[in-house]
Homo-oligomer: A and B are copies of this chain.
Amino acid sequence: MPPYPAPEWAVTQWFNSAPLSPDSLRGRIIVLGAFQMLCPGCVAHGLPQLQRVEQTFSREEVAVVGLHTVFEHHAAMTPVALEAFLHEYRIGFPVGVDTHTDPAGPPVTMQRYKLRGTPSLILIDRLGQVRHDAFGQEPDLALGARIAMLLAEGSGAEVAVSDQQEQPNCTIEGGCN
């Protein structure tokens, strides 16, 4: 896709953060994850992946931002419900509530980014240009690569890694454990 300037976020309320905008995050890669708290694919895949992104990259370099783009069941997915959801699922990155004005349509930011549903993922480069979007499940390998390609534009930043899981491995000294 050809790059284009990241549209403004029309957010009515922020959780885990003061208000943010593509401009206020200029200089960092933004990984913007659109979700709904009652979307099964978001809960099973989209949001855990955003958490892994947050743990894998330096927060000075990569900003993970959630966007609650409710386009159905509005009475269920209120800001109060979202706050409880974020607490229970231990989501610590900033999450904005997308503005909903058109009763029959998707919320404002979702329209601006022409998203087809949730979960959706948008990558914005250091200059504030949208460089990639994906609807549905994006494999971690490809997402890691895409983020790093954006990181590499310019200073050639380093990638910090953490959160390595325990797995049965075989060591020269001690067999498999």
Contact = CB atoms under 8 A, between A and B. Distances in A.
Given A40-B88, A175-B72, A142 B159 contact: yes
Interface in A50-70: 52-53, 56-57
B176 A161 contact: no
How many protomers of this protein does the assembly include?
4
Interface in A142-177: 142-149, 151-153, 156, 159, 161, 163-165, 167-172, 175-176
B176 A56 contact: no
A116 interface: yes
A171 B117 contact: yes
B152 A118 contact: no
A137 interface: yes
A138 B81 CA distance: 28
Interface stretch (A4-12, A14-22, A41-49): A41-49
Contacts of A49: 141
